[in-house]
Structure 1
Amino acid sequence: MKATIRKIIVQVDEVRMEMGQPVTPPTRRALAMAVIANPYAGRYAENLDELIAIGEELGGLLGERCVQALDIAPGQTHSYGKAAIVGEAGELEHAAAILHPKLGAPLRKAVGKGAALVPSSKKQGGVGTAIDVPLGHKDAAFVRSHFDAMEARVADAPRANEIVVAVVVTDSGRPLPRVGGLQIHEIKGEDGLR
């Protein structure tokens, strides 16, 4: 099933200065969101296959939009994350159906690999509800410099029968990281952890 998309929003957050210190090169995070119709709004359904298929479609679409917004090659991406907000005529499981079974594979393709689990969050809410999209390094979950989040919010969504689906991709970790842990140059990228 194809998603019925009301709108797509793409934005880039670029940090150039932190605590009076220059951030060189700047850290950048791209957020892509799709506001979609919820095919199960207002009714219980045991089978959520339509949302699972929509998740697969949006994983690639939103991941590609993020990479394009950063103007980098897929292999230059560092972190990723995903989230969804379900409108009041839906249920939390609708977000899970979009995010978990099939969204990850096309997102990984869009960012050129991705051995680590894609961090996620989900919630139910009304128009203007915000959600933090958790981030982690795409190939090694133990890279502390990439533990982060980016807020996602659409002023006019989700309406009762909608879902906001968000993907964030970065070209770096946090600005000025200094809490130790596995470093970028130490990543093996085999088990998703190191």
Structure 2
Amino acid sequence: MKAHIRKIVVQVDETHVEGGQAIDPPTRRALAMAVIDNPYAGRYSANLDALIEIGEELGGLLGQRCVQALGITPDQAQSYGKAAIVGEAGELEHAAAVLHPKLGAPLRKAVSHGAALVPSAKKRGTLGTIIDVPLGHKDAAFVRSHFDAMEARVSDAPRANEMVVAVVVTDSGRPAPRIGGLQVSEIVGQDGLR
């Protein structure tokens, strides 16, 4: 593995009651985060290939950890998202290099398909910085019930020369959705939109 991982954090969020209404089955979101060394921290490089390759490794690893944490098969995954926090000796472009060119394909494999773009966020931060990982349905971006986010934070990361890379996978949409729009049962799943 090209990534130098200091730690991995995995957590599951289950909502059983929303607005006083029982949610059965509960909505569940899994978050997997890797704290990694940033090989470009403290120096400018026109070529960010090492981070692009690390992103490819982490897409599969973190996606699989989420699916395992939910106890589902990959095809039961419904939405996904990704985010990165780069330490203060890094650049936002370092987060972009991890997230965008190659992380998506192995994440899609981990969740069995994924026609829609993977929503993403990035920021610079320090120890304990929080980022909201945006979520959308993996096959149809127009499914409003799956517009959501999950908060990600590692108390001792990122250090100046590190990055926190986060992936979220869900087995459902928001609890008690009721704002209309394209329904899961209506997804065609070919263009990533509908």
| TM-score above 0.5, yes or no | yes
Superposed CA RMSD in Å reads 0.5
**What is residue 104 of structure 2 aligned with on the other side?**
104
Q: Which runs of 5 or more structure 2 residues have no equivalent in the other structure? A: none
Q: Secondary structure at the match of 1:96?
A: helix
Residue in 1 that maps onto 2:86: 86
Structure 1 CA distance, aligned partners of 2:24 and 2:186?
21
Distance 1:19 1:101 in 2: 40
> Which residue type is aligned with residue 54 of structure 1?
I
In structure 2, what is the equivalent of residue 25 of structure 1?
Answer: 25
Partner SS for 1:39: coil
Structure-to-structure mapping, 1:2-41, within 5 angstroms: 2-41=2-41
1:114-125 equivalences in 2 (<5 Å): 114-125=114-125
Identity %: 81
Corresponding position of 1:166: 166
Q: Distance in 2 between matches of 1:9 and 1:69?
A: 11
How many Å separate the matches in 2 of 1:31 and 1:176? 21
Please give the per-residue CA displacement for 1:93-132, whole angstroms capped at 9, x wherever unaligned.
0000000000000000000000000000000001000000
What is residue 146 of structure 2 aligned with on the other side? 146
Q: Distance in 2 between matches of 1:9 and 1:152?
A: 10
Q: TM-score, normalised by structure 2?
A: 0.99
Q: Secondary structure at the match of 1:35?
A: strand
Superposition deviation, residue 19 in structure 1: 1.3
Deviations 1:54-91 (A, max 9, x none): 00000000000000000000000000000000000000
TM-score scaled by structure 1? 0.99
Q: Letter of the 1:28 partner, please give it.
A: R
Take 2:112 and 2:49, find their aligned partners in 1: how far apart are those partners? 26
Cα distance in 1 between the residues matched to 2:193 and 2:47: 33
Structure 1 Cα separation of the partners of residues 139 and 27 of structure 2: 18
Whole-Å Cα distance in 1 between the matches of residues 126 and 14 of structure 2? 28
SS in 1 for 2:30: strand
2:133 alignment counterpart: 133
The 1-side partners of 2:106 and 2:26 are apart by 27
Partner-residue secondary structure (3-state), 1:33: strand
Q: 2:118 & 2:30 partners in 1: Cα distance?
A: 15
Partner of residue 72, structure 2: 72
Offset at residue 44 of structure 1 (A): 0.3
Secondary structure class of the residue paired with 2:152: strand
2:181 paired residue number: 181
C-alpha distance in structure 2 between counterparts of 1:81 and 1:13, whole Å = 15
Q: What's the offset of the Cα at 1:173?
A: 0.1
Which amino acid in the other structure matches residue 182 of structure 2?
L
Stretches of structure 1 that go unaligned for 5 or more consecutive residues are: none
Q: What SS does structure 2 have at the residue aligned with 1:179?
A: coil
Paired position in structure 1 for 2:48: 48
